Amino acid sequence: MTTDLNPRYSFETFVLGEPNRVAYNAARSVAESPGASYNPLFIFGPTGLGKTHLLMAIGNRAQSVSEGFSVEYLTVDEFLEAYQVATAMGQADSFRNRFEGVGLLLVDDIQFLAHRRPVQGELLRLLSGFQESGQQMVLTSDTPPADIEDMDERLLRKLDGGLVVDVAPPDREMRRQILEQRAEERGADFEAEVIEAVAAFEVGNVRELLGLLNRLAAFQAVSETPVTADAARAMLDWEVPAEEAVMPIETPRAAEVEDDPFDMTPLFIDMPETDEFADFLSDVSSTVEQQIEVWRERLAASILRWQPEGYRTARLEQAMQSDEVMAPIERLVGQFEADIGRLQEMQEAMREVAPERANDIAFFDPDRVAEAEHLVQKAVRELGALPGPSEAYSPGAFVESGANRVAVTAVGATVSDPGKRYNPLVFVGGPGVGKTHLLHVVGHGLATRDNFWVACMSTQQFLDELQQAIDDDRWDAFRARFGKVDALLIDDVQLLAGRRHSQEEFFYLFNRLLEAGKQVVLTCNVSPRDIEGLDERIVSRFEGGLVAQLDSPDRDLRRAVIIKRLEDLYGAAELDLVDYLAARPASSVRGVLGLVQRVLSAADARGVDPSGRLARELIEGAIPAREDGSRSIRTSGVTSAPGVIHSQDKVIWRWPDPVERIIEELV
């Protein structure tokens, strides 16, 4: 994680000159009494002027002055890496703690902290801690602190509070000294005039200067005679300045290379000393790092967010540390956090159903969402199944006509797209028009969907369930049980009228299902608004969906019902019988079927086939209009004049056991 100090970089090997004297003196002072003089010490200057040399010289000297003194040298890359690893592991404190015993911390090239606010913040905290405890920090950069882009103001103030010194490009005297020193180190022997001639060239940094020296040394090594000052000047004339160094073989622009794309001859006789590629590489590295840094910080932030809450973050840690398959960061973190959201929902549901199982480890592992869902489903089922649609109301037995077409169309849309189109769907109509049948038809349609839980029951059953929950003091279980269904179908909701507490609970459940996109289908014998004693909130919500009216059966419906009934029983239907019965008025399908049944029973009793004639005789004979035109029959509050029976199904044609009833009344 850290770089060892290079023993070659010492104050003794550092070439001192006016351009770097202040920095040199400050560095020595810090090295000999760390934490006592300038803290922090900030050294800046262009690349190649000896900043790293000074930094390591401080470390080497401090260690030699005090044996066992702890010195740590870090490039900013190493600093960043240490920070990222620590934050990724959720151990930011360990990052700070690792510097506790360090007496002198040397950080190189902090200009690369530009735009990295979180790391800047960490450096600020570290620096404050160092100052408080008398630990020394020395930093370098290629620009003054204030010129580092997007730098934390507090960190800038902290850096300015220490000592900020620069190292400038070497002057001529310094260049001469450097050349002499390096020539001696290389064992190259140059005339003093040659050194002087080279020193006369103004170069931007020491590396460039050494590059010139290397060229001269290489030239001298292959020459029979020593390099002279004039030869050196002639040789270096085109080397410096750099922009004049590139010499094309062919200068006329007309001879540009596109004329001969096969020609791979390098255009240039030599490279300039300035390393444009290295510069480019550094630029690219910086940009990539910034982008990758964003990616890592996003992962680390998410890990830090969820780990303390007990959630497993292995998926994110793996993404950060390994070469495994990784998605783009927003997708990766987004999916992770969506999974946690789902786990939280599941855990909440489990708290309602079986609180003792709500802390199962599956609820804290985003890689086990399916398992968590299974646990909840299992717990809900253990509470007991809710009734589904009845087989007695098969979809095939329902007869469609103009009287119920709107409702039937709504059923189709609801079955194909539950919870989306008509929610709630409310069937309204008088008794016997097929509301209950249609409700169960919806239930059968929805039940064919995979993993789709349909609860279909009467309002009375719902109220019984609710009463049971109240008696057992298991409200949460009741809510969880109903809250888990994918579709709730309830018959005769008018029965909720006047039951305030039941309406409260129904309202809660209804809202919860609708908010979760679950389908609700209801039946009602009158329009919701006409139900007395039904809470206005419930009425308005019912009307917010689709209220579909089922009318009394028209002639077509009656006819279709009669034919279907007769065909089901006999395989065929006598047309005269069908026409006669279909022409009889009926307020409900149930009434039509009652009429058919009456004819069939009579035919059965007489041992003849059911026919129109028999029906006429039976029905018209049973109410002998011609024999007793003044008598009317009063049933269920409906008074019917002879021959004008409006509600056949309300007429009680056969009183069961009248004798027993009379005895019962008398007793």
Partner 1 sequence: MSLVNFTTREITCKIVYYGPGRSGKTTNLQYIYGRVPEGRRGRMVSLATKTDRTLFFDFLPLELGQISGFTTRFQLYTVPGQVYYNATRKLVLQGADGVVFVADSQARQLDENIESLQNLQINLLDNGMDVRDLPVVYQYNKQDLPQDLILSKRELDDALNFRQRPSFQADALSGSGVFETLKGVSELVLRRLSEVSTA
Q: For binding to partner 1 (CB under 8 A), which residues are involved?
A: 243, 246, 248, 251, 253, 256-258, 261-264, 266-268, 271-272, 275-277, 279-281, 283-285, 287-289, 291-295, 323, 325-331
| Nearest-angstrom CA–CA distance, 151 and 159 | 11
Q: Bridge partners of 455? A: 488
Nearer Cβ to partner 1 (326/641): 326
Nearer Cβ to partner 1 (7/261): 261
Residue 625 · residue 643 · CB < 8 Å: yes
Nearer Cβ to partner 1 (265/451): 265
Nearer Cβ to partner 1 (255/652): 255
How near is the Cβ of 319 to partner 1 at its closest, in Å? Answer: 8
Nearer Cβ to partner 1 (192/249): 249
Nearer Cβ to partner 1 (268/570): 268
Nearer Cβ to partner 1 (181/285): 285
Length of the chain: 667
No. of helices (H) and no. of strands (E), the chain: 25, 12
Query: Which alpha helices (DSSP H) does 89-171 contain, by range?
Result: 92-97, 117-133, 153-160
| Nearest-angstrom CA–CA distance, 216 and 56 | 29
DSSP letters for 218-284 = HHHHH-SSPPPHHHHHHHHHTTSSGGGT--BS---GGG-GGG-TT----SBSS--SS-HHHHHHHHH
How near is the Cβ of 218 to partner 1 at its closest, in Å? Answer: 18
Which single residue is written with the structure tokens 């990052």?
95
610 is written with which tokens? 């059911």
Distances (CA, A) of 361 to 351, 352, 365, 373, 380: 14, 17, 7, 13, 19
385 is written with which tokens? 């199944």
Nearer Cβ to partner 1 (276/609): 276
Residue 448 · residue 420 · CB < 8 Å: no
How near is the Cβ of 8 to partner 1 at its closest, in Å? Answer: 24
Longest dimension (CA), the chain: 154
How near is the Cβ of 250 to partner 1 at its closest, in Å? Answer: 9
Residue type present at position 429: G
How near is the Cβ of 297 to partner 1 at its closest, in Å? Answer: 11
How near is the Cβ of 306 to partner 1 at its closest, in Å? Answer: 21
How near is the Cβ of 98 to partner 1 at its closest, in Å? Answer: 22
DSSP letters for 385-432 = PPP---TTS-GGG----TTTHHHHHHHHHHHHSTTTSSSSEEEE--TT
How near is the Cβ of 261 to partner 1 at its closest, in Å? Answer: 4
Nearer Cβ to partner 1 (3/640): 3
Nearer Cβ to partner 1 (47/377): 47
Helix/strand/coil percentages in the chain, nearest 5: 55, 10, 35
Nearer Cβ to partner 1 (237/283): 283
E strand or H helix at 583: helix 575-583
| Nearest-angstrom CA–CA distance, 407 and 436 | 12
Which single residue is written with the structure tokens 């204030």?
146
| Nearest-angstrom CA–CA distance, 315 and 327 | 11
Residue type present at position 61: R
How near is the Cβ of 494 to partner 1 at its closest, in Å? Answer: 55
331 is written with which tokens? 């997708």
> How many C-beta neighbours within 10 Å does residue 92 have?
17
Sequence-distant (≥ 6) Cβ neighbours of residue 645 within 8 angstroms: 585, 623, 651
How near is the Cβ of 211 to partner 1 at its closest, in Å? Answer: 15
| Nearest-angstrom CA–CA distance, 575 and 578 | 5
How near is the Cβ of 253 to partner 1 at its closest, in Å? Answer: 7
Beta strands in 503-637 (DSSP E): 519-524, 546-549, 633-635
How near is the Cβ of 210 to partner 1 at its closest, in Å? Answer: 18
Nearer Cβ to partner 1 (273/491): 273
